[in-house]
Amino acid sequence: SAVISQKPSRDICQRGTSLTIQCQVDSQVTMMFWYRQQPGQSLTLIATANQGSEATYESGFVIDKFPISRPNLTFSTLTVSNMSPEDSSIYLCSVEEDWGYEQYFGPGTRLTVT
């Protein structure tokens, strides 16, 4: 199984600022995903990040708010821009070796916006 790390593990940020979350995988993977888990809720997919192409965003999420980079097969970043308290969530990175394979998750980044 893939081993995934995320940085930072947690952060407290002020309203109006931006935070970039890093996701590093110990092996090359085709599919990388970014999820949000709001307090007490289940997971919601933000976008799918594939190397060499623009990220594909789910309904309700836009590139200006959540820009994503995927420079290679082991790394991705998610930026949460112009933050508001409603962005306080756990942000999770996940990977699949290829489409339809078992999905593995990172430890998450707990973001609090004040």
Instruction: Give the shortest CB-83-to-another protein separation in angstroms.
Output: 20
Look at residues 16, 21, 4, 49 and name the one whose alpha carbon lies nearest to residue 111.
Answer: 21
Asked if 94 interacts with another protein (CB under 8 A), we say yes
Bridge partners of residue 31, in order along the sequence: 96
**Residue placing its CB nearer to another protein in the complex, 86 or 102:** 102
Structure tokens, 63: 């590139």
Query: In angstroms, what CA-CA distances link 90 with 36, 73, 80?
Result: 6, 23, 12
Question: Contacting another protein (CB under 8 A), which of 25, 48, 66, 74?
Answer: 48
Q: What x/- string results for residues 58 through 87 when contact with another protein is judged by CB under 8 A?
A: x-----------------------------
Asked if 13 interacts with another protein (CB under 8 A), we say no
Q: In angstroms, what is the C-alpha Rg of the chain?
A: 13
**Residue placing its CB nearer to another protein in the complex, 31 or 73:** 31
- Angle value at C-alpha 91, between 23 and 22, nearest 5 degrees: 20
Footprint on this chain of another protein (rule: CB under 8 A):
1, 4, 6, 31, 33, 41-43, 45, 48, 56, 58, 90, 92, 94, 99-100, 102-108, 110
